[in-house]
Amino acid sequence: MLKIWGRANSINVQKVLWCAEELGLPYQRIDAGMEYGVVNTAEYRKLNPNGLVPTLEDGNLVLWESNAIVRYLAARYGAGSLWPTDPAVRADSDKWMDWQVSTLWTRLRPVFWGLIRTPPEKRNAQEIETAYQKTREAFAILDQALAGRQYVAGDAFTMGDIALGVAAQRWFNLPVERPAAPNLEAWYQRLRERPAFSKIVDHPLT
């Protein structure tokens, strides 16, 4: 059985849990991070020297970095579905996973943390506004890319949708104005119809 370390409301932990649910994999989740502590213990640091979540244990394999874990699970347990067999389709899906980490989340994170996890009196309004404008631009890119597509790599749901979907859930639940984005909105509704997304991701922001 897989062992997944990390709190359930972590965006990166949710990627891994959602992936495992989509693949029907049995797993044990162990609370770690923020209010749960654990990540600074000697035991945990042997698994993940960064002291972050998630960390995956699959037999003798110990793996950290959420997108790397999703890729591993998709490749080992979801070849032909979450892990496309066509190298071009797989690369397209993989591209969006990298973009989620390098571009989208770096812009969205200050908005999310500022509005959800920071008390009003401690918020940096200018930082939030700047990040918000950049986040709008990023989601406009995704909206354009989804034109004529059901999912980010084509007609089938893949690992790339998992990485982007957890970020989109934050965006669509933040108390901010969102410009019309018909392709993005339709894609997000398709994600919401997936039982695994509903179970793991689609919850109030905390």
pLDDT in the model for residue 7:
98
Grouping H, G, I as helix, E, B as strand and the rest as coil, residue 111 is helix
Overall average pLDDT of the 32-40 stretch: 95
CB 53 within 8 Å of CB 3: no
Confidence of residue 17 (pLDDT cuts 50, 70, 90): very high
Q: Of 128, 137, 122, 138, which is closest to residue 176 (Cα–Cα)? A: 128
- pTM, to two decimals: 0.97
| Domain boundaries, position 46 | 2-77
- What's the pLDDT tens digit per position in 167-195? 999 999 999 999 999 999 999 999 999 99
Confidence of residue 28 (pLDDT cuts 50, 70, 90): very high
In terms of domains, do 54 and 101 share one? no
pLDDT in the model for residue 63:
98
CATH classification of the domain holding 18: 3.40.30.10
Within a domain: 176: yes
Within a domain: 202: no
The answer for residues whose C-beta is within 8 angstroms of residue 30's C-beta and 6 or more apart is 3, 4, 5, 6, 38
Tell me how many domains the chain contains.
2
Helix boundaries (H) for the chain: 11-23, 42-47, 66-77, 87-99, 105-116, 125-145, 159-173, 182-192, 195-200
In terms of domains, do 122 and 184 share one? yes
Choosing from 42, 57, 77, the residue where a domain stops is 77
